[in-house]
Structure 1
Amino acid sequence: MFRKLYLVWLVIAACVLFIIHACNRAGKTDAEQMPDTVSYNFNIRPILSDKCFKCHGPDAAHRQADLRLDIPESAFKALKDNPTAHALVAGDPMMSEVYRRISTKDTSEQMPPPSSNLKKLTTFEVDLIKQWIKQGARYEKHWAFVPPRSYAVPQVENTAWPKNPIDNFVLQKMEQKGFDPNPEADKERLLKRVSLDLTGLPPTLQMMDNFLADNSANAYQKVVDQLMATPQYGEKMTLHWLDVARYADSHGYQDDNYRSQWPWRDWVIHSFNENLPYDKFITWQIAGDQLPNATTEQLLATGFNRNHKITEEGGVIDEEYRVSYVTDRTNTFGKALLGVTLECAHCHDHKYDPFSQKDYYQMFAFFNNVKEVGIESVVGGPETYAKRPLMQISNDEVKKVMKFINKQDTDKLIVSIMTDSDKVRPTYILKRGNYDAHGDVVEPGTPKAILPFAASYPKNRLGLAEWLFNKNNPLAARVFVNQVWQEFFGKGIVKSSGDFGMQGDLPSHPELLDWLAVDFRDHGWNIKRLVKQIVMSATYRQSAVISPDKLKDDPENTWLARGPRSRLPAEFVRDLVLASSGLLNQTIGGPSVNPYQPPGLWENATSGRGQLASYKQVHGPNLYRRGMYTLIKRTVPPASLGIFDASNRDQCEVKRLRTNTPLQALVMLNDPTVLEAARVLAARLLRDNSRPQDKITKAFRLIMCRHPQEKELAILTAYYNDELKAMNKADAQKLLSVGEYPIPANLDKVTLAAMMKVVDAMYNVEEAITKT
């Protein structure tokens, strides 16, 4: 008996030990598994940057004990206060003051000091540093400042899955982490996904039917080619660039008058549709005016650098605002094209990245010679729509040269552009960033930590563009490829797409990022080729279904073992509603418009001067233009777009926030555009000579882009029948009164209202405005 009890006890003890061991393993993240070789870039530098560099980093003004831990020259030398000691002794943690001070329990010696309010290192982080020192404490240049190299396409176990090299890199990581890829999404969901991603619009019924009927091996490729050949492709790609370029239709600040910068937006759409190579796309925007024999199109492109806010207020200090414009251009260049927080060096040396304040003002110097003033004119008529320097575009130029501009009237068309003065304006380091606190004079230049500015380059913006696209520039290709990847997968390979620096996120797939960057650069900076590579990959085509295991082990889909799933951007929510209802006006380009908006928003937040003092809603077809053409007044951005996280375009934004709030549900329930679209689609359905179930099925396909399941159709049909019985004429008339689009006279109002309720219910299903 005792023997049996003893055996039972052994079994129980073994089970308990197993469970404890399993829990310990489950509780350890990938980051907490001690690597065989500890990497400075991927294991050590993030710890030092987070908890040490504030006092022992690049910023000389805040450095303590004359010790820098971000560079080996300082970290290995004798300590200033104790010449017999060293912060790091390669191979010997116990002789390294860094290890001793982060592991001690003595609070008078502990680092970071408890009084610093910096987070204490975890036990695992201390162990990592100890192991790194044991292995020789080898430093590496920050990964993002090393030119990308093309890695060999990796071998994988599941050789049948990859469709192009992207998949090999992704699958290699999956196999290392113990994941299997999801199966390919069904044809209906895949078509919705790729149509929204390439055009911002849902597929038409004809496209759905054709794709479902096409059983050829290249059916999906044909759809991709068809979508990329449409002018809507250029519109979709442009929306992200409008955020990057801080495009808006008003000057900003208090008066916030109208600006006529929309021809630049037309140029961007045209550039994406014509597949202008990325190096030219950027060079023209940075320095089109400095190209030899610059064309009017190249001059127009430089509007990118004049999209910033401009004041029209009286009583301001001219130089203060002029400096703020140059600052904006410098910061935008750093964030949009280099993916670094250059602005952190505006007032002092960067605390984490190797950018000095001098580096900042050397970059500032490239943008400091523009023929502009801080305050120009007062709020008034068309003469203030653009600010000097500017270009006037004639009707003749639109007809013959810039046919892509959608000029709809004969009014004078003027756009702010870049033009430098003949006389060079001196650039000073501004002490503490104050516009009038002049320090040393600096020449145009670039941070050496990224890439020195070659003596052969002209010291102007054209030289800056040459530097940016130098083969050894480590950031230009990586940053853009990452932003494009973000557009399709919801987040970049580097999650912090605006910060590739020390405080930014490490790339989840560093070899893939480098391979894509080099491949993009070596194939002529071909944007359409890059986009097609991404959407043709097996990685992109996966089902977005989330299994419990994958949700638990990889909630953010870092390892890409399922397809992307995200709510549509604000503008595309509007576009889906308009397109599915048949209301969408697909005119490309042209001036921005004022659709429905709650009354009083502008009037309660305005100086009462200028063209935008009060809101003047458009009528007719302009009411149904795409969301990207909604006029953006910076001080009062469009409410319905803002609720869905659209940018107000105050400054460069390379990644939008994604929130989920009750206000978004209220917009879908109450926005006049949604209600009107539901009414218009209902009226079109009722004109079909078909059963109610068939009408509901058609609406479901237009909105969800798939056939309804039997249960879904039954619920919606029952809802329609219930509404039909409960609806009276008075309620129907009230419901149908929303929106300006005319109601067909020959339709029964009660039947129309009942069908409208069903369509509106579909618009309010989460799936309707979600890319899955």
Structure 2
Amino acid sequence: MKGIHVLLTYSLVLGLAMAVGSCSSSNASQIQEEPIPELVSYNFDIRPILSDKCSACHGPDANKREAGLRLDDSVTVFKALKEHPNAYALVPGKPELSEVFLRITTDDTTKMMPPKASHLKLSAREVDLIEKWIKQGAKYEKHWAFVAPKKPALPEVDQKEWVKNEIDYFVLHKMEQKDLSPNEEADKERLLKRVALDLNGLPPSLSQMDRFLADKSPKAYEKMVDELLRNPSYGEKMAVYWLDLARYADSHGYQDDGYRTQWPWRDWVIHALNKNMPYSQFVTWQLAGDLVPTTNPAQAKEQLLATGFNRNHKITEEGGVIQEEYRVSYVADRSDLFGKAFLGVTMECARCHDHKYDPITQKDYYQTFAFFNNVKEVGIESVIGGPETYAKKPLMEISNEDVKGILKFINKQDTSRLIVSVMSDLDTARVSTILKRGNYDAPGDVVLPAMPSVILPFAKNLPKNRLGLSKWLFDRNNPLTSRVFVNQMWQEFFGKGIVKTAGDFGMQGELPTNPELLDWLAVDFMEHGWNIKRLVKQMVMSATYRQSAKMSPEKLAKDPENIYLSRSSRSRINAEFVRDVVLSSSGLLVPMIGGPSVKPYQPPGLWEGATSGRGLLSMYVQDHGASLYRRGMYTLIKRTVPPPTMSIFDASNRDVCEVRRLKTNTPLQALVMMNDPTVLEASRVLAAKLLQENNQVSDKINKAFRMIVCRKPTEKEMGILTAYYSKELKKINLKQANKLLAVGEYPIPNQIDKQLLAALMRVVNTIYNLEETITRT
């Protein structure tokens, strides 16, 4: 088997190398062959050229600007040039009189733009685009993301028989423009695994597989989607993305990195997602639940708990810090989170000066900052110690009576005091100012709460608090809120967003690959009450989603990055779900929802080597029993030393808001799957269960393969695995078997043949190590 793995690895590397080569060459030819559009758009055709080739010298940075010319400013660009009063950078309709066009087409190296020393050069297509744009009037446009979306008509397509819902019209239209055709629908086994992982974060059960394969009705797939959406695991799966965004962790961060008890807020998130709370309400309660009027005491307490979202940031517990410095950093964290998570705008770039690329001033930043600057908090409340430090004021206490009644969704497992950090404002508003150069001790002009007018003016009738901010956020004319969320959801189900830079819809972010689809989804989402489950079902029911992941050489050449979605995406599942797949398929998973975070197996000495030596988290004390077999999302996250296995699989350490995880492929990931105690224990436990069944070895291996990989093995695969079993059985003696089986705490059944168990364990472990096991295709 080792030889097979080496061969597979070599083939994969060779294939990737060929793919990279194809990407670079095909991209180059694609750029050259791309036709000039009928109507040239500043946003989608011209601004990217100016940004890449011209902005370094003629952009927003005044310190580096040459000749006083700013090409991204529609006000000054049509005025006479500072150094040549009789010349103009742009003359609408007349490229022959426009210095921009003359400079990019001249052969005179003293006048050529970009200058030769920059090593930048415009392609023939880029020159043609600029010429045509000038001929059409050189019209500048407001940045596309700052214009409220309008619902476009469904485009005309040729292959109407392929379409399942509205999404497919937009996707197919783009495909047909690029002379691409969609893949066939994925086979039922792979499609079921895909949708089960995407909606529940778990592999389908054997029962689900058998039922789905046997169901020949036209509604078979939709029935399975509805079943998965009803499963409580849906809330857990969807919550993982939200925990990244909300920077949830089980420690305060910084050097002491003491324990915190924010997990009841995590329980609320799962509960809210499972009951399909509208996105507008889901976010409003988290931003301003303490300010939302209600006469229902139960709802008031739930709303208050939801505001724990705003208190998930790092909090210091070190003595000797400057109170105001850290208090200001907490407020800035909430402001930056708001911009990135809900607006897709890099607000933090304007903390020290006006934003260099987006039309957001430093005043805009501190007006946003003012919404979060009125919390009853201090920079440091107390040094690390007992339970009173597990949450910082303002806080709420959750009683046993609360859990039995109004907060039944909280999984409180003991009678100890349970406190959570939440939001509560001062009675008198704290004065907010612009902080010069972003320094906490350099106050400037006083500012009042408001939002950048370039996005949407903050209406005078809105309260100048977090509730007013939420009303502004969900105003139907806000151009960003719905776009940003549907893009995040698209990223969850298609591998990357329609806007690839999910946290940056600004000038430096990627352009949407299908702007009409993005706008249609955004408006449709608002029109249907911000219904998250409806949006999710829309996406997974589309023909686009259901395609196979097969990649032909022609498609690889035409669209190496699958921008036009003529096949399904293929990617490794997220860190938490790698663990979930292993535990679920082996039968070890404890399906309990919520509750305190747990500490499973971890290499010794990690915490002890990176701690101040104080507090509950100074030493790693592993849990036992059922706590060893909880879902990955419940693994305790200590910010300074996050769970090593999850870090290797690119999980966030939850320091800051993260709306898009990077995906890597390293040898360490293979080593985890080969050596992690949880994977080895799961292999042993599943092998033991199979051995206790009265059937042939081939039946046991077949069943293991189906439970883990979620499809029936081929004849060739069965041949390799059964031969491997026979080989291991002959090789392993009792001493070797005992050593191999001595992993994990789950008991070995009495009277079981340990040599048979060790051999079958090796086979099961090999199946867990197949790339396909932890890959979503």
TM-score, normalization by structure 2: 0.94
- 5+ residue gaps, structure 2: 1-24
Q: CA deviation at 1:106?
A: 5.0
Which structure 2 residues correspond to residues 107-506 of structure 1 after superposition, within 5 A? 109-112=111-114, 119-293=120-294, 295-506=300-511
Instruction: Tell me the residue number matched to 1:550.
Output: 555
Q: Do residues 567 (structure 1) and 568 (structure 2) align?
A: no
Matching residue within 97, 110, 113 for 1:95 = 97
Q: CA deviation at 1:72?
A: 1.6
- Return the alpha-carbon distance in structure 2 between the equivalents of residues 284 and 618 of structure 1: 34
Instruction: Tell me the residue number matched to 2:78.
Output: 76
- Return the alpha-carbon distance in structure 2 between the equivalents of residues 109 and 322 of structure 1: 53
Deviations 1:542-567 (A, max 9, x none): 11111111122212111111112111
3-state secondary structure, aligned to 1:429: strand
Q: CA deviation at 1:315?
A: 1.3
3-state secondary structure, aligned to 1:493: coil
Instruction: Tell me the residue number matched to 1:15.
Output: none
Instruction: Tell me the residue number matched to 2:22.
Output: none
3-state secondary structure, aligned to 1:73: coil
Instruction: Tell me the residue number matched to 2:39.
Output: 37
Which structure 2 residues correspond to residues 685-764 of structure 1 after superposition, within 5 A? 685-764=690-769
- Return the alpha-carbon distance in structure 2 between the equivalents of residues 471 and 436 of structure 1: 38
- Return the alpha-carbon distance in structure 2 between the equivalents of residues 54 and 324 of structure 1: 31
Instruction: Tell me the residue number matched to 1:20.
Output: none
Partner letter of residue 765 of structure 2? Answer: D
Give the number of equivalent residue pairs. 749
3-state secondary structure, aligned to 1:612: coil
Instruction: Tell me the residue number matched to 2:546.
Output: 541
Q: CA deviation at 1:59?
A: 5.1
Q: CA deviation at 1:430?
A: 1.4
Deviations 1:141-188 (A, max 9, x none): 111111111111122111111011111111111111111111111111
Q: CA deviation at 1:81?
A: 3.5
- Conserved in 1, the CA contact under 8 Å of 2:26 and 2:557? no
3-state secondary structure, aligned to 1:440: strand
Instruction: Tell me the residue number matched to 2:651.
Output: 646
Deviations 1:723-755 (A, max 9, x none): 111111111000000100000111100000000
Q: CA deviation at 1:516?
A: 0.5
3-state secondary structure, aligned to 1:428: strand
Deviations 1:89-144 (A, max 9, x none): 111223222233444455554545567x6844444333322221122111111111
3-state secondary structure, aligned to 2:759: helix
Against the structure 1 CA distance between its residues 309 and 25, is the aligned structure 2 distance closer, same or farther, given a 3 Å change threshold?
closer
- Conserved in 2, the CA contact under 8 Å of 1:59 and 1:350? no
Against the structure 1 CA distance between its residues 276 and 62, is the aligned structure 2 distance closer, same or farther, given a 3 Å change threshold?
farther
- Return the alpha-carbon distance in structure 1 between the equivalents of residues 33 and 601 of structure 2: 50
- Return the alpha-carbon distance in structure 2 between the equivalents of residues 315 and 25 of structure 1: 56
Instruction: Tell me the residue number matched to 2:17.
Output: none
3-state secondary structure, aligned to 1:444: coil
- Return the alpha-carbon distance in structure 1 between the equivalents of residues 99 and 162 of structure 2: 50
Partner letter of residue 522 of structure 2? Answer: A
Against the structure 1 CA distance between its residues 30 and 295, is the aligned structure 2 distance closer, same or farther, given a 3 Å change threshold?
farther
Deviations 1:264-319 (A, max 9, x none): 10000001000000000111111111111370111111111111111111111111
- Return the alpha-carbon distance in structure 1 between the equivalents of residues 770 and 131 of structure 2: 53
Q: Do residues 85 (structure 1) and 76 (structure 2) align?
A: no
- Conserved in 1, the CA contact under 8 Å of 2:42 and 2:141? yes
Q: Which moved more, 1:710-719 or 1:420-429?
A: 420-429
Q: Do residues 767 (structure 1) and 772 (structure 2) align?
A: yes
Partner letter of residue 100 of structure 1? Answer: L
- Conserved in 2, the CA contact under 8 Å of 1:53 and 1:352? no
- Return the alpha-carbon distance in structure 1 between the equivalents of residues 27 and 331 of structure 2: 53
Identity of aligned residues (%): 70
Matching residue within 589, 593, 601 for 1:596 = 601
- Conserved in 2, the CA contact under 8 Å of 1:51 and 1:118? no
- Return the alpha-carbon distance in structure 2 between the equivalents of residues 597 and 24 of structure 1: 45
Task: Say what the alpha-carbon RMSD is for the aligned residues.
Answer: 1.7
Deviations 1:44-101 (A, max 9, x none): 1112223434554445566554443223221112233333222211112232222334
- Return the alpha-carbon distance in structure 2 between the equivalents of residues 387 and 63 of structure 1: 47
- Return the alpha-carbon distance in structure 2 between the equivalents of residues 120 and 95 of structure 1: 21
Partner letter of residue 285 of structure 1? Answer: Q
- Return the alpha-carbon distance in structure 2 between the equivalents of residues 314 and 78 of structure 1: 60
Against the structure 1 CA distance between its residues 110 and 416, is the aligned structure 2 distance closer, same or farther, given a 3 Å change threshold?
farther
Partner letter of residue 207 of structure 2? Answer: Q
- Conserved in 1, the CA contact under 8 Å of 2:26 and 2:558? no
- Return the alpha-carbon distance in structure 1 between the equivalents of residues 28 and 622 of structure 2: 58
TM-score, normalization by structure 1: 0.95
Q: CA deviation at 1:421?
A: 0.7
- Return the alpha-carbon distance in structure 1 between the equivalents of residues 427 and 442 of structure 2: 25
Q: CA deviation at 1:246?
A: 0.5
Q: CA deviation at 1:25?
A: 11
3-state secondary structure, aligned to 1:611: coil
3-state secondary structure, aligned to 1:295: helix
